[in-house]
Amino acid sequence: MDDYRAVREMLPPPPLSPEVERAGRDRLAAAFAQERVRRGRRVARRSALALGLAGAAAAAAIVIAQVAPAGVPAPRGVAVQAEDKRFLLVAAASVAAMPDEGAWWGSAEVRGRQFHEPGGRYVLRESESVETWIPADPEGRTWYRRTSQGIKPATPRDEAAWVADGSPMSWTYDKPSENGRFGVVRSEPGEQRTWSTEDWDFRILTAGKPLTKMSEVPDTPEGLKAFFAADDRTTIDTAARLLFFAPVTSETRAAAYRLLASLSGVTAIGQVTDALGRAGQAVEYESGEFAPNYQSATRTRLVIDPASGRPLSLEVRSADGLLLTYIAIQDSRWADANPLKENS
């Protein structure tokens, strides 16, 4: 079975005219051929530019209907078998064509954690928005802006239970919650903070190696695995960090997708809705890295938009499915200017 047929069977498109379908088939086949060749960085960049809008149009024609906007149900018949991780290869082909030049790597995230109120009657969600700008220059300073969004019921059902509880604005925990909250917890948002620091390596510390020189990170799955030199669980965590946080090249990001697709500890779970209500395809794996205060077994879920190749959210769930923590990416890109620095 060729790559095009594999993708079509996994993500069936809406009806297309013969001309559009033929053009999309040719362009997607060309994109996968480029992925297999895995040329050097300069050649890969020229090839991505050669694909240009044509490659983007082909990917959109084939995949766009399968990644529905938030709140829109997935089309009928769209399903991914539990063992099928081929959408990660689609994401790799998509992200490889993204521009990766600029002076700053910027990201806007919503981070949150969930926990039951002291009586266990409903779930609360504490969240904050985080904007980060990492310089391409390893000697530069990284800028952050953090805005607390406070605590509120996690879902409409939880909100109804909260109202029935008298709509409290604070809660007292005599013992730690499942997410480590203890003492008095208040609902009101905190103040916005903006700051810069030279010590940004901790964000992307991978397999014991701080990535201060992004140009030295390999851009093949085999190269990444050798570079990490770690067990599979650490390798999976490290690949996830590259995808979500690190200012690496588009080829390295594509290699991380292909590496995840090759590891047996990564399991596809099909189409899901992420913590912000966006639809995407997801994989899960065992990891305690992103929920250190939770003592029981957890599963980490990566939600991806295959059409664009962008990661949507990194979520940690308990064994019974409760969402514990999440990092939802609203935007991430290379840019020439850092608005936090300019407005400081």
- What is the pLDDT at residue 207? 60
Task: Tell me the mean pLDDT in the region 234-241.
Answer: 91
- What is the pLDDT at residue 209? 65
Q: pTM to 2 decimals?
A: 0.72
Reply yes or no on whether the pLDDT at 57 is more than 80.
no
DSSP 221-241: HHHHHHHH---HHHHHHHHHH
Task: Give the number of other CB atoms < 10 A from CB of residue 39.
Answer: 12
- The percentage of residues in the chain with a pLDDT greater than 90, rounded to a whole number, is 49
258-306 per-position pLDDT tens digit = 999 999 999 999 999 999 999 999 999 988 676 666 667 889 999 999 9
| Cα diameter, the chain | 66
Task: Tell me the mean pLDDT in the region 66-84.
Answer: 37
Task: Tell me the mean pLDDT in the region 105-116.
Answer: 93
* Spatial distance between the Cα atoms of 299 and 293, rounded to a whole number of angstroms: 14
**Cα dist. 71→18, 158, 273, 319 in Å?**
31, 19, 9, 26
- What is the pLDDT at residue 187? 94
Angle value at C-alpha 138, between 132 and 144, nearest 5 degrees:
15
Confidence class for position 197, pLDDT limits 50, 70, 90: confident
In the structure encoding, which two tokens stand for residue 272, read together?
A: 């899901």
Task: Give the number of other CB atoms < 10 A from CB of residue 311.
Answer: 26
Domain regions of the chain by residue span: 3-74, 104-342
**Type of residue at 36:** R
Task: Tell me the mean pLDDT in the region 192-214.
Answer: 67
- What is the pLDDT at residue 271? 94
**Cα dist. 189→119, 126, 137, 146, 169 in Å?**
23, 9, 34, 11, 11
